[in-house]
């Protein structure tokens, strides 16, 4: 952002101060993530940057914590990863189906009591997780679903649906309903119209909602803390236990993997957002 | 008008008005049927248990049902002196039934919430009561432990007689109903919950403020920079947003610990002596720093989406009319960003007030919030009705803010990513 030549000096100074402040804030946002990378390659057992690392001594770096993550004795990460993916995938499928169908209804201009119903559907996102956790725990305990994968999947469907509802209704807001009418007038039944016409058009919104639902489930710890038994441990639960008891560098290796995963998700989400904006732009 | 003109009929002879109404009704039903699966799923699995918490928080039937004879016998006891033999006898029979069904453990937990010291004397009573002789139960029970002869303990039992009570809500604000039935504050040194509420509000408020102060300049920069630069900088906001909460908390734990990177740096530039490293974790400071960074994207994104819609020509117009950059900013630009400020602040405040994970990990004793207390009672003291009461008090506050948010911003305007 270049300043015009005629800018007075004190505004010029102020402008550079402003840029400096912005730089500091960006640094504050992103730098903490990068602390994890070097420390996860630490050869020592401590979570501090050793003198060797400062000198860039190759012996100070190693892959031992990554090996420990994969092959370590009585290693909990394998089971945790399996559970996390299992739960997140099924929760995402459930949330996407329920959320997309509900969003279709909500976007109809005939929908009665839209405001209150929307508020109810979004509420799991707003209610503090600890309260959701307590409530869902009471329900699952009564239903005999505590400490089962089913219980956790159901809980995560609850948390995931608001994101799907929001992203899909946003995509539908630019949706031209005459295309579905055209399909109907050409003799297509509603299900066929949805699969062949509506779904491909709203797909970016659906997938970005799915990403949110997946990440929410994959990262969720509060409710799982209430619901999980020993067999239902997930990656966040293992990290939680690790962070509370003792910070071992293995956690940082896992964290590095998670940051890489979130980078992938971010790229996917950005691409989808642009595509969805393009599609909506064309429809307008 | 319509009564004067002839009614328009559809081809099958039904008035158009009726026919249209029918179609509209069908469309309404269709729309509702699409929403119904999710709505009923949420109502059953989510909303009804939350309402159930309301019941849990006032439900005190456990004790009422455990000691039916005792409470009946207590009806004409004035509570001033030790109850009569009749009450002791009733209590003995109630208690014997409980021990036969092995339910006295739950009773002892509940009574212990009411008054400390019940646990041990109930355990003792259980052991001794097996060899009780018939008659004169008052003496025999009092012989088990001196506290059974203390009128305070009997009053504590009597206080648990009603099947429903709001005592848990009183406890949540450091109050209780004393022996005369008056609602009073607990002793000065035992007031913990009020302090906790104040601290939760304070931390949520300051975190929101810090987030606002930091988010405003960068949202402005992102909105005014050319696309190709702003997209790159946007990653700095979105990557933390998508990264696991635990990963971000872990990185703060590494940064803030006494041998951590921040302290190392401060020692290196000579701002802090090596033996006087700052304690930035396991206290309030840690909670502030970590929560601000974690919630910052939730402030940046709504601000950015509002600032993006403000046409730069407005600012130019302000300047061309003789406004200095500061005045133009304050009179033209800032008022236009208020919707974004409102949306971001309310969102961050709502999220901050119910935060659990980060305060639990970096907050120590002085940096924990009301959520941590709820979890503590759920997991360790097992006082679930108290946890429910506190949860509902917190929920009421959050819903109030949510309501304001809905009025001001509209929930369908929540922006994600």
Interface check B385 vs A, CB under 8 A: no
- Chain B residue numbers with beta carbons less than 8 Å from the beta carbon of A129 are 354, 356, 371
**How much is the pLDDT for B5?**
59
What is the ipTM for the molecules in this complex?
A: 0.87
Q: Which of A124, A161, A258 sits opposite B244 (nearest CB)?
A: A258
In DSSP terms, A42 is beta-bridged to: A61
Which residue of A29, A199, A246, A270 is the best one to mutate when testing the B interface, meaning the one whose CB has the most B CBs within 10 A? Answer: A29
CA distance A248 to B258: 16
Pick B295 or A38 by higher pLDDT.
Answer: B295
- Candidates A256, A210, A219, A197; CA nearest to A34 is A256
**pLDDT (tens digit, 9 = 90+) per residue, B267-305?**
888 888 888 888 888 888 889 999 999 999 999 998 998
- Chain A residue numbers with beta carbons less than 8 Å from the beta carbon of B201 are none
Closest residue in B to A265 (Cα–Cα) = B242
Burial class (CB in 10 A: 0-12, 13-18, 19+), B368: buried
**How much is the pLDDT for A284?**
39
Q: Which of A56-70, B232-246, B248-262 has the lowest mean pLDDT?
A: A56-70
User: In chain A, what are the domains?
Assistant: 87-283 (1.10.3720.10)
**pLDDT confidence bin for B198, thresholds 50/70/90:** very high
- Three-state DSSP at B15 gives strand
Q: Which of B45, B361, B395 sits opposite A158 (nearest CB)?
A: B45
In contact, A215 and A163? CB cutoff 8 Å:
no
- Chain B residue numbers with beta carbons less than 8 Å from the beta carbon of A137 are 378
- Looking at chain A, the whole-number percentage of residues with pLDDT higher than 70 is 94
Which residues of B44-133 form beta strands (DSSP E)?
none
Closest residue in A to B401 (Cα–Cα) = A126
Mean pLDDT of chain A: 86
CA distance A110 to B6: 28
Q: What is the mean pLDDT of residues A65-90?
A: 84
User: In chain B, what are the domains?
Assistant: 1-51 (no CATH), 62-160 (no CATH), 193-413 (1.10.3720.10)
Structure tokens at A208: 């970005």
Q: What is the mean pLDDT of residues A274-280?
A: 73
Q: Which of A26-30, A85-89, A167-171, B114-118 has the lowest mean pLDDT?
A: B114-118
Interface check B398 vs A, CB under 8 A: yes
**How much is the pLDDT for B117?**
83
Which residues between 148 and 207 in chain B have a beta carbon less than 8 angstroms from any beta carbon of chain A?
Answer: none
**How much is the pLDDT for A41?**
83
In contact, B276 and A66? CB cutoff 8 Å:
no
| Torsions phi, psi for A61 (to 5 deg) | -110, 145
Question: Regarding beta strands B183-185 and B175-177, do their DSSP bridges make them parallel or antiparallel, or are they unpaired?
Answer: antiparallel
Query: pTM for this one?
Result: 0.86
- Chain B residue numbers with beta carbons less than 8 Å from the beta carbon of A120 are 39, 42-43, 47
**How much is the pLDDT for B2?**
47
- Candidates B92, B93, B87, B89; CA nearest to B73 is B87
């Amino acid at each position: 952002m270049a300043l015009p030549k005629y800018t007075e000096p004190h505004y010029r100074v102020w402008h550079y101060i402003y840029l400096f402040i912005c730089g500091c804030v960006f640094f504050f946002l992103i730098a903490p993530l990068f602390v994890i990378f070097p420390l996860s390659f630490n050869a020592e057992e401590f979570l501090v940057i050793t003198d060797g690392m400062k000198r860039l001594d190759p012996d100070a770096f190693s892959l031992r914590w990554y090996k420990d993550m994969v092959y370590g004795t009585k290693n909990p990460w394998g089971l945790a990863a399996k559970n996390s993916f299992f739960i997140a995938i099924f929760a995402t499928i459930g949330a996407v189906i329920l959320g997309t169908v509900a969003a279709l209804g909500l976007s109809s201009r005939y929908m009665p009591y839209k405001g209150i119903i929307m508020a109810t559907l979004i509420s799991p996102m707003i209610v503090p997780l600890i309260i959701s956790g307590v409530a869902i725990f009471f329900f699952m305990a009564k239903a005999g679903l505590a400490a089962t994968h089913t219980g956790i999947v159901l809980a995560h469907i609850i948390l995931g649906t608001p994101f799907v509802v929001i992203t899909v209704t946003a995509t539908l807001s630019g949706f031209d309903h005459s295309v579905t009418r055209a399909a109907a007038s050409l003799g297509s039944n509603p299900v066929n119209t949805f699969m062949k016409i509506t779904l491909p058009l709203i797909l970016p919104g659906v997938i970005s909602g799915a990403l949110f639902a997946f990440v929410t489930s994959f990262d969720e710890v509060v409710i799982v803390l209430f619901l999980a038994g020993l067999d239902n441990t997930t990656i966040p639960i293992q990290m939680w236990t690790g962070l509370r008891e003792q910070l071992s560098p293995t956690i940082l290796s896992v964290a590095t993997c998670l940051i890489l995963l979130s980078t992938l998700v971010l790229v996917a989400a950005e691409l989808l957002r642009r595509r969805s904006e393009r599609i909506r732009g064309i429809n307008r | 008008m319509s009564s004067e003109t002839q009614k328009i009929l559809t081809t099958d002879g039904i008035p158009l008005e009726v026919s249209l109404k029918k179609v509209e009704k069908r469309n309404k039903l269709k729309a509702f049927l699409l929403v119904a699966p999710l709505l009923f799923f949420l109502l059953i699995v989510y909303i009804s248990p939350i309402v159930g918490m309301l019941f849990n928080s006032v439900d005190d039937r456990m004790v009422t049902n455990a000691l039916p004879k005792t409470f009946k016998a207590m009806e004409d006891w004035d509570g001033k002196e030790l109850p009569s033999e009749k009450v002791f006898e009733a209590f003995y029979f109630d208690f014997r039934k409980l021990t036969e069904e092995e339910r006295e453990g739950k009773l002892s937990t509940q009574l212990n919430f009411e008054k400390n010291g019940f646990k041990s004397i109930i355990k003792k009573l259980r052991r001794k009561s097996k060899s009780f002789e018939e008659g004169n139960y008052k003496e025999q029970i009092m012989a088990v432990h001196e506290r059974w002869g203390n009128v305070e303990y009997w009053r504590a039992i009597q206080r648990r007689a009603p099947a429903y009570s709001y005592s848990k809500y009183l406890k949540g604000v450091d109050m209780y109903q004393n022996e005369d039935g008056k609602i009073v504050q607990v002793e000065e040194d035992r007031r913990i919950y009020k302090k906790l509420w104040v601290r939760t509000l304070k931390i949520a408020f300051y975190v929101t403020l810090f987030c606002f102060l930091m988010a405003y300049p960068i949202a402005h920069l992102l909105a005014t920079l050319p696309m190709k630069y702003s997209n790159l900088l946007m990653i700095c906001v979105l990557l933390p947003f998508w990264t696991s909460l635990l990963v971000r908390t872990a990185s703060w734990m590494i940064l803030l610990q006494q041998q951590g990177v921040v302290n190392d740096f401060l020692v290196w530039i000579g701002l802090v002596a090596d033996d006087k490293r700052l304690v930035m974790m396991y206290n309030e400071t840690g909670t502030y720093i970590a929560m601000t960074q974690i919630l910052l994207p939730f402030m940046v994104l709504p601000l950015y989406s509002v600032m993006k819609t403000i046409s730069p020509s407005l600012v130019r117009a302000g300047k061309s009319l003789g406004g200095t950059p500061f005045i133009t900013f304050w009179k033209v630009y800032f008022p236009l960003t208020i919707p974004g400020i409102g949306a971001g602040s309310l969102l961050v405040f709502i999220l901050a007030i119910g935060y659990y994970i980060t305060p639990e990990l970096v907050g120590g004793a002085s940096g924990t919030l009301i959520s941590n207390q709820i979890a503590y009672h759920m997991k360790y003291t097992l006082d679930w009705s108290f946890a429910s009461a506190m949860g509902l008090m917190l929920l009421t506050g959050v819903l109030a803010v949510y309501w304001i948010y809905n009025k001001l911003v509209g929930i369908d305007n929540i922006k994600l990513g």
